[in-house]
Structure 1
Amino acid sequence: MATFSSVTRQHVLAALAEHDARGAEEFLDLYGFEPGVGTLTHEGRTYDARAVLGVAHKFATGRLARQDEFHGDLQATGLLSKRGFEVTEPASARRAVAAPSATRAPRAPRAPRASAAKTTTRTPSREERPPAICPTCFTVLPATGVCDACG
């Protein structure tokens, strides 16, 4: 399973440059990706989001994130948008995410809780006094109040 936390914007830009150099078809064939529905748009060109992110993972970690390691196009488009790229999510993925919230019942408001300040007691912090200093050698005095060096 691939984790994409190490993929930066620079890794994605390197994958985009390779995509431009090879062409879309050769890029997808070389790395074993099927055309997806999530797209990345950069400088007027469109790219397959999963393939670009998989190759960017290769630049970041040295290991290609294969197509079967993604949880659909939604994961790729979400990660790329967090890296500052313009992405288009597949319409089916947007509906799948929106559907569960539409079927949920509205949440009932909570009853107010008793104040925690009434049940807990705090001890006031003691004021910290500055340490006693020997007037002759300017060292901190021990608990006896008599300087070890000066006597």
Structure 2
Amino acid sequence: MATFSSVTRTHVLSAIAEHDDRGAAAFLGVYGFTPTPGVTLTHEGQAYDATALLAVAHRYATGRAALPEEMTGGKVAVGTLLGKRGFDVTGAPSSRTTARRTTASRPATPRKAPEPEKPTPVCPSCFMALPATGVCDSCG
């Protein structure tokens, strides 16, 4: 089963460019897809089959296109995934709100830098790591 966590907006844009170069029928045929009614990605005024685009974007991300039978998430998953990457997807019930929301519109939340690890206390006599009690098990 294909996972799509590695698919970025750039990968989807590459799939769109391939779709434009090949044409819709050839693009779907090469990857074994049939038109998926109802789930449409709109980019720069052009409508695309969102399911096939996501599968091909997976190829750009991982080197292997997702097969039609691997697209098990259905309309909601495809729309949500593409919506989270800033695309306008219609036909997916839950994607209408997420498709319009992009990371650029959210205020940036600064992340706390991780605290550096504290050095492990060491016994000055035998140089063994001290237990939580602070008393060396070997030296006492």
Pairwise TM-score range, normalised by the shorter structure: 0.5 to 0.7
CA displacement 1:79-138 (0-9 Å, x = unmatched): 000000000024xxx39xxxxxxxxxxxxxxxxxxxxxxxxxxxxxxxxxxxxxxxxxxx
Matched, 1:55 2:56: yes
How many Å separate the matches in 2 of 1:36 and 1:78?
A: 16
Cα RMSD over matched residues? 1.3
The secondary structure found in structure 2 opposite 1:63 is: coil
Runs of 4+ that moved beyond 2 A:
none
Please state which structure has a larger fraction of its residues in helix.
Answer: 1
Q: Hey, what does 2:119 align to over in structure 1?
A: none
Q: Hey, what does 2:88 align to over in structure 1?
A: 86
Count residues in correspondence.
92
**Normalized against structure 2, the TM-score is what?**
0.63
Tell me, which stretches of 5 or more residues in structure 1 are unaligned?
96-151
Larger radius of gyration: 1
Shift of 1:68: 1.0
Shift of 1:73: 2.2
Shift of 1:67: 1.3
Kindly, what percent of the aligned residue pairs are identical? 60
The secondary structure found in structure 1 opposite 2:61 is: helix
Tell me, which stretches of 5 or more residues in structure 2 are unaligned?
95-140
Which residue identity lines up with residue 2 of structure 1 in the other structure? A
Q: What does residue range 1-150 of structure 1 map to in structure 2 within 5 Å?
A: 1-37=1-37, 38-70=39-71, 71-90=73-92, 94=93
